[in-house]
Amino acid sequence: MHDSPNYDLVDGSRVAVIGGGPAGSLFSFFLLQMAERAGLQLEVDIYEPRDFTRPGPAGCNNCGGIVSEWLVQALAMEGVPLPPDVVQRGIESYTMHLDVGSVRFEPPTHEKRIAALHRGGGPKDATEGQWASFDAHLLNLAQQRGAHWVRARVDAVRYADGKIQVRSSGKEFKTYDLVAAATGKHVQSFKIFEALGTGYKPPRMSRTYISEIHLGNAAINEHLGNSMHLFLPDVPNIKFGALIPKGDYVTLCILGQEITRGTVAAFVASAGVDRCMPPGWVLPENCCHCTPSISIQGAVRPYADRLVFVGDCSVSRLYKDGIGAAYRAAKAAATAVVYYGVSARALEQHYWPTLRSIGRDNLFGRIIYLVTTIIQRVRLIRPGVVRMIRREQAHPDAPARMSSILWDTFTGSAPYRDVFIRTLHPAFILQFLADIVVGMFAPAEPPGKEPKS
């Protein structure tokens, strides 16, 4: 049901998209695609100050750069395949490192579908043009659909004469029928929207850590292989850490609550990182690194008349698959505005349910991360975890209950709710308890290096 014809997008309607990360580019792509199907011609301006082809912070949107297996497939079906020069490495397995041992687990289907990539033009010490950027690829696709890239930062948004207006880099206000906010985690940009008084409250954020470590392709193949290395160390505030192999670099990512320099040092010293890095390796002081925020609780009222929020500035997925959540939000928002209009009521009815389902799924995610935190803190449980995965991986025909739970949790391949339900299966609980008990009394195996894939 439409509120009023004034809130419908019509031929010639103008749309401003603020932010050209995955959420903004995918929203523009789907908006133009659906408008064409509905017989509408829209003017779409994407405001984005960054040139994503540049190496270092200037072109980077600070991320681990893992595109989950379901998303690689979904994008390909949408006509957004990932070209080989964007995908730096196909991840074939995950290797989990605990103080009691390392264990590798593989995807249930044994297909190489997870992509490791750089969001921008690579780390700061990479030569310009060396890496093809994921964000530049998506922005190009949106431009090919007909969007205009305005290389500028938006500094104000206001309502005027029943429409919405946008000002960039201190210039004049421009009038639009719809603004899509896709500003990610940028705190300064949140203030622009809070000032509108629509009831929008930005997502709650937490500080994380990323660095790009140059090892060279040969050393990466030798020490890490095509495996993502996952660490659950008993270090306060850390949910998990990961080493993600790419072309010549390894991305070190630490997620949790307010990660500080001290937490990073404790992580590198305690987590078994030495087991998968070359002998004598130390974290270089001057490597490309950043401490970006990650959304840990969704925004309040991420829609208003003529205003819709997509991606991290709305509701994202807890700790994993933020790009996948941006894709889902972008497609749902584009569908809502083309087919139901741009009023707050239409967005509440036809867009908000998608965000609400991501937010509700995060509640199950919180329970799952509570369990992984208990595993981190209680040493007696850990040998049981390693034992159970080793047995499952040694018998590929038997049900891989623990492996699939960990795979889907840490790759973001399945909703947290599905993963949670699987943890309640009596066969899983009984087997896990048995492995914990046996693990308590079995002689500890030395935590040797897990063979790479």
Note the residues at the interface with ligand FAD (CB under 6 A).
18-24, 47-50, 61-66, 153-154, 182-186, 189, 208, 210, 253, 255, 292, 294, 311-312, 316, 321-324, 326
Sorted by sequence, the CB contacts under 8 Å of residue 234 that are 6+ apart come out as 99, 270, 376, 377, 379
Helix or strand holding residue 419 (H, E)? helix 416-423
Q: Which is nearer to ligand FAD, 138 or 344 (CB)?
A: 138
How far from 185 is each of 61, 280, 291, 309, 434, CA to CA, in Å? 10, 36, 12, 12, 44
Closer residue to ligand FAD in complex, CB, 40/290: 290
Interstrand relation of 93-98 and 101-105 (parallel, antiparallel or unpaired): antiparallel
Report, in Å, the least distance between residue 186 CB and ligand FAD: 4
Nearer to ligand FAD, 37 or 191 (CB): 191
For residue 384, the minimal CB distance to ligand FAD (Å) is 28
CA 173 to chain centre: 33
Query: What is the closest distance, in whole angstroms, from the C-beta atom of residue 311 to ligand FAD in the complex?
Result: 2
d(CA 383, CA 181): 47
Based on CB atoms, which residue is closest to ligand FAD, 148 or 425? 148
Nearer to ligand FAD, 138 or 385 (CB): 138
* Min CB(314)–ligand FAD separation in Å: 8
Kindly give, in sequence order, each residue whose CB lies less than 8 Å from that of residue 228, ignoring residues fewer than 6 positions away.
Answer: 66, 91, 93, 94, 95, 114, 116, 242, 243, 244, 245, 410
Rounded to a whole number of angstroms, the minimum distance from the CB of residue 381 to ligand FAD is 27
CB nearer to ligand FAD: pick between 91 and 388:
91
Contacts of 142 (CB under 8 A, 6+ apart): 20, 24, 25, 26, 28, 29, 32, 44, 46
Instruction: Give the total residue count for the chain.
Output: 453
Nearest approach, Cβ of residue 4 and ligand FAD (Å): 29
